[in-house]
Amino acid sequence: MENKVCALTFDDGPNTVTTPLVIDKLEKYGVVASFFLVGNNIDEESARVSRRAFGLGCEINNHSRTHSAMTELSAEEIKQEIAYTSEKIMEIIGEGPKFFRPPYIAVNDTMVENIDLPFIAGFGAEDWEDSVSAAERAKRILEQVCDGCVILLHDIVGNDKTVEALDTIIPALKNEGYEFVTVSGLFERAGIVPAKGIVYSYTGQKNMYA
């Protein structure tokens, strides 16, 4: 019988401060993750960090160019947000992103109509809030995880509590029989082609974003 699977994901990088620490943890435990990049954070140095993650088997995906509230943008502005970051990712790793995570997980019809990538959400821990301790972040994630789910965390600069929480989250899930795969790997293992208009937090999701 196949193991249960989950996908660790990290938003709002890349950077040269916290993203490398996250990658260190992935290497330590021999697992992969998916990184959702903000295009304006990509420069020569941070690109090398993303390339390192990709070389370890991680997936590099799109989180818009500016992390704006895209529900307030025009169709053309939305297309520009996606195209910029997708092109940057292509330059870094030689292939385009496979998924998109909407900033603030805010979605409307205009976005669905103008973004060709499948939309990903996930189960999070409000780990952008410094007041949430590493232990509480780990607890919240472990309480929500299910087979085929996406774990939503952030590798923003200085987010050391999430880096620390990984030392609890990863071993605990391994002990529960979970295998860590990329977001692509989740859908491949489930034999599911992501549908347009669904913002996925787990592969079996049927409900639309609204």
Residues recognised as catalytic:
11, 154
51-58 contacts, C-beta under 8 A, 24 or more apart:
51/92, 51/93, 52/20, 52/23, 53/19, 53/23, 53/26, 54/92, 54/93, 56/23, 56/26, 56/27, 56/32, 57/32, 57/182, 58/23, 58/26, 58/32, 58/33, 58/34, 58/182
Q: Is the Cβ–Cβ distance between 35 and 56 less than 8 Å?
A: no
